[in-house]
Structure 1
Amino acid sequence: MMGDMVKEAQTAPEITQVHVYTKLPEEIMSDARWATHVKPKVRGRGYWFWKSALANLLIAKNVIRLGDDLLYVDTDSIGMMKHILKISKSDKSDVIIASQSHCEHVWTKGDIFEQFGTTWDDPHYGLSQQPKAQAYMMRINERTLKLLRLWEDLMTDFHLVSDEPSRNASLNGPWFAKKENRHDQSILSMLIKASIPKSGRCGEPDFPKAERLTNDEDESRGWKLHPKYGVEGLKVRFI
């Protein structure tokens, strides 16, 4: 599948660099922040912490620079590569990312809601859709640099992003026990919601009775830029 990814990227003239990893760089493996994440048999090679860590490493090494576009694609989402590139030609948002119907509170554990100072049933954070982190584009500027730093910083908390149960189960949504935490995706989704007033409605396909925004509810009512995790001025396009 890695070979297919490289071949697809080579057919896109917009892509000038391709970085494919079959193992983590030594700079990350030897970083004490990730010592627990990179232990053998940890799911997702550390609950996918490396998405933000690799991006920030490439930025720190000046491989990716201000003004560049960072396109991330999972090997099982190759079809999204050119779809995002096509949209990016006319849409200059800081972040382009796929939306989906799944509700945040079904796929994010209560400890994460607590970290953001909110609850699973908050109309903006909990009852709205959780975007996918399998493929996205970030235009590297001061706003996305901050977003990537925040994402990586939160991913260092192994308990927060892992499958370990919430320390206080009462913080979980009522449907969470039937699904699971979405790790890196949950964190990125919550950071986006901390930064923009609307992420979109959800309609949990597996649980038709799951709580969600009703037609007369305004997700953005009462929303404010998060004082700690919000990125002021961030523009996000959901596709």
Structure 2
Amino acid sequence: MRKNWYYAILIIVLLTVTQIYPMLNVKTVDMVSEETEHFLLNFEEVDRLVALEIGQVLEAKKADIDRTLNFENDGKTEVYIYPDQGTLHGKKYGMVGKIIAPEWYIGDNIGEQVLLVSPSNPGPMHSYESVMLAAVHEYVHTVVYQINKKTPKWINEGLAVYLAEQQPDSNSINKIYAPSFKDTRTNNPIKFGNMGGYEYSYTYMRFLDSQFGLEAVSTLLRNGLDYEAAFGYTEEELYEMWIVYLEKVY
């Protein structure tokens, strides 16, 4: 009986180690590094040219994003560019991530670090160009993280897609299929993606920008997420106003 327990515990330990091992270091053994003025790029040699292009894109967008969100930081943002989706998924979610991560998942952040699949190998649902936009998207997340780590996903993703100019196809936006107020409060990344969260949160941020300006959103991040103080309306009232906006604009 004791021997069986020993083997059971050993198997559990081995499975746990196998799961978390890829997550212990976001850098792969084959990665090299290059620095730009504000970014530290980590990539495998095969992706050197695209990594340097990502650095140029980020440098071109950084100042506007920082100014919009009233953010200042003299440090360098670390960017990790992986040769394929499987490696990215493993670094973020461990071995199980290679099985459960959706095909549209090409980038993320861990705190102040950007994780991104190589634009040269973006997977079946993305292109070279969309990964370049995703690099900017993930940088926005690192800024929001440093301003307010508790920012809800609806606002966090809305800012990222809006500031990265990942404008959705207007044909994909329909008031009838808009997420419910309850849905907009989810922090589940799979549910968020499947409910059209990226597309609809873009329109929500566009609505806030058109009615209040992004300065008000920046205030929201810094005031403990007090919607009434930032906008003069409750979160639910803003949701209802956004639904009306969808009908008029889209």
* TM-score interval, smaller chain: 0.3 to 0.5
Decide which structure has greater helix share: 2
Larger radius of gyration: 2
Instruction: Identify which of structures 1 and 2 has the higher relative contact order when contacts are C-alpha pairs closer than 8 Å and 6+ apart.
Output: 1
Q: TM-score, normalised by structure 1?
A: 0.32
TM-score, normalised via structure 2 length:
0.31
